[in-house]
Amino acid sequence: MNLELPTRPKPDQAIVRPVIADCDIHPCLAKPSDILPYLPKRWQEHAQTYGMLPRHGYQSGPAYPKGQPDAARLDSWPPEGRPGSDLSFMQKQHLDANRVELGIMTVIAPAAGAAQNLDYSAALARALNEWQVAEWTSKDKRLKASIVVPYEDAAAAAAEIDHWAGHDDFRQVLLLSRTAEPLGQRRYWPIYEAAQRAGLPIGIHAFGYGGYPVTGGGWPSYYIEEMVGHSQCCQALLTSMVIEGVFERFPKTRMVLIEAGLAWLPSLSWRLDKHWARMRSETPHLTRKPSDYIREHVWLTTQPMEEPEKRKHFRDIVDWIGPDRLLFATDYPHWDFDDPLWSVPVKLDEAVQKALFLDNAKRLYGIA
């Protein structure tokens, strides 16, 4: 085994934690019915009659076993409710303890955007956005929300973005990576147009479910495969965004890939550039090579961070991607939480470190 982690401080050593932005925090309903007060009466009745069921249930993906109950750290269960559902518990355990100056919230369960009934999908998205303000961002100014949208109905999603545009508490539009069709396709363009109009980045969180298995060759057996597969889905969706011309059509798009890994980005870009150089006649709407779009328009969150055996390879990858494009994230309260103290596998330059942990996020999300 050669999976050593960076040296952990000894228990009696003074630990100086860096001030961080955490670009992937998952607040959660204590129980599903807590969303009811935020839904109009018609949809309260719908949820109570038919259940609150996006594709494949309450979860944000097919029902593979998870690493832990609720996919959560065992110590993240508050006295009542589910992990991520209690603000004061989260403040104590995470925001204060880990010196989080800026926390970007990503509500992925329930996966409102994946509900089959599109009107319900829109109502649920609106309710979750109202809930985020009422229960979270209005109570803790460190927290900023991502706009949940009914992404399979792009017109309704655009309307939801327009509704919140300019609201100080919303700093991002949130999509999931597994959709009914690849995310670059034109049915989704009104979402990118609205995000550009609102001046908001688009965060695409791994997971979701559009009806297809995570692999191009059918349904895998194990959760490990599903987890590793997410990065392949994100490779495919980024390919789709580039090749369909989203960045050409909406040149102010800033896209954040959340929880998708990052070490695959260079090799994907090389392959895209190579094929595009030979087949560019298929895509006359593109004026630049794929890696140019990627370098201009794409940010990535760090968790779960790859850990090369030769640690210098991590530095090579950071160099290729650009140290200004990486956003630290913990994924709190999920089981695969990355601790800011020892999750970065190499010692980075101090400036790079500060950019990665804090400055990049503040710049991207417009925090003074």
Q: Which is nearer to its own copies, 54 or 78 (CB)?
A: 54
Q: How far is the CB of 288 from its own copies (least distance, A)?
A: 9
Q: Which is nearer to its own copies, 252 or 310 (CB)?
A: 310
- For the chain, strand residue ranges (E) read 20-25, 100-105, 143-148, 170-178, 202-208, 255-258, 298-301, 326-327
Q: How far is the CB of 367 from its own copies (least distance, A)?
A: 30
Q: How far is the CB of 60 from its own copies (least distance, A)?
A: 14
Whether the bond into 308 is cis, omega within 30 of 0 = no
Q: How many CA atoms lie within 13 A of 362 on its CB side?
A: 15
CA distance 139 to 178: 32
44 backbone φψ class: left, alpha, beta (φ>0; ψ -120 to 50): alpha
Token pair of 154 as six digits: 């792009």
Q: What is the dihedral of CA 204, 206, 209, 210, to 10 degrees?
A: 50
Whether the bond into 110 is cis, omega within 30 of 0 = yes
Q: How far is the CB of 26 from its own copies (least distance, A)?
A: 18
Q: How far is the CB of 238 from its own copies (least distance, A)?
A: 10
Q: Which is nearer to its own copies, 95 or 108 (CB)?
A: 108
Q: Which is nearer to its own copies, 223 or 342 (CB)?
A: 223
Q: Which is nearer to its own copies, 32 or 210 (CB)?
A: 210
Assess contact for 336 and 24: CB atoms under 8 A. no
Assess contact for 327 and 365: CB atoms under 8 A. no
Q: How far is the CB of 120 from its own copies (least distance, A)?
A: 22
Q: Which is nearer to its own copies, 28 or 263 (CB)?
A: 263
